Amino acid sequence: MFTFSEEHTLYIKQLKKERRIILFGKVFLFIIFLSFWEILAQKEILNTFLYSSPSKILSTIKTLLINGQLGKHIWITTYEVGISFLLSSIGGIFIAFLLWRFEKLAKILDPYITILNSLPKVALGPLIIIWVGADIHSIICMALLISIFTTIISIYTSFISTPMVYLILFKSLHASSIQTFWKLILPYNIENIIAALKVNISMSLVGVIMGELLVSKKGLGYLIMYGSQIFQLDLVITSIFILGVLSYIMYIIIDYVQILLKKKEKYN
């Protein structure tokens, strides 16, 4: 029967202890923030009409649950973010591959990608609505415009940063471009790709909310706009709070995928 060494066992225990401390720190900081916010609201140091409070947020969430609106709006936003994230991730990786494969194409498109990435996408909102329509398609289009260029730039930069010594080795073995990409570029840069996807999920969420603020009748962005129009700031801040939770959950999912890839790489 295989047994671990005492040093290895001690290392595993220390690693688990460190993870528990980090998790406790995250939860503790969140609780302290909510408690401090609630105390300031109860003491009337903060104007609850303008800044709301955790108790009012909880009450608003309860109301939305009772009337059946919460799940519907969260699902719509999650669905739009999911579609936008998948499209921008797959498209970003594919375009980054093309730019890596064809160096001249990368040099030609470089200024245009930079310009498109720096354009204020909100200014394009009215045009997107006219071109695509005032529906979910314009929301996804807005999210794509915001997220895909950042993804392309990040992943392409990682691809071209692969050490030359490895590229020379693959070239000496007469590997094709596709073989080099699948066997070297992609595995070597998996950490950078995951990091780019973490940014991408946030950018997709930002893009979806911006799109919902413009055209949607459903979703958390719509709740924010509707709440601000009727001066129900509890609804606005509750929607923002839920967005934060949703964003964190999406981050955890990608982080978990990263952990699984690390484990797979370790055992391979």
Per-residue pLDDT of 221-240, as tens digits, reads 889 998 888 888 889 999 99
Same domain, 75 and 45: no
Q: How far apart are CA 134 and CA 142, in angstroms?
A: 12
Same domain, 44 and 74: no
Same domain, 80 and 127: yes
Say if residue 97's pLDDT is above 90.
yes
Say if residue 1's pLDDT is above 50.
no
Residue 44, in any domain of the structure:
yes
Cβ proximity of 44 and 28 under 8 Å: no
Same domain, 160 and 44: no
Same domain, 11 and 85: no
Give the predicted TM-score (pTM) of the model: 0.83
Cβ proximity of 209 and 221 under 8 Å: yes
Q: How far apart are CA 68 and CA 145, in angstroms?
A: 32
Q: How far apart are CA 89 and CA 83, in angstroms?
A: 10
Residue 240, in any domain of the structure:
yes
Q: What is the tens place of the pLDDT at every residue in 187-204?
A: 888 888 988 988 898 899
Residue 152's pLDDT is 94
Say if residue 157's pLDDT is above 50.
yes
Angle at 52 between CA 219 and CA 80, to 5 degrees: 15
Q: How far apart are CA 160 and CA 92, in angstroms?
A: 15
Residue 104's pLDDT is 92
Domain count, the chain: 2
Cβ proximity of 156 and 106 under 8 Å: yes
Confidence of residue 170 (pLDDT cuts 50, 70, 90): confident
Same domain, 32 and 91: no
| One-character DSSP codes across 73-91 | HHHHHHHHHHHHHHHHHHH
- The total of other beta-carbon atoms located within 10 Å of residue 74's CB is 19
How remote is the C-alpha of 47 from its chain's centroid? 32
Same domain, 48 and 96: no
Q: Two tokens at 98?
A: 């093309």
Residue in the structure block whose two tokens are 């991408």: 200
Domain that residue 10 falls in: 1-53
Residue 58, in any domain of the structure:
no
Most confident range (mean pLDDT) of 43-47, 122-126, 241-245 is: 241-245
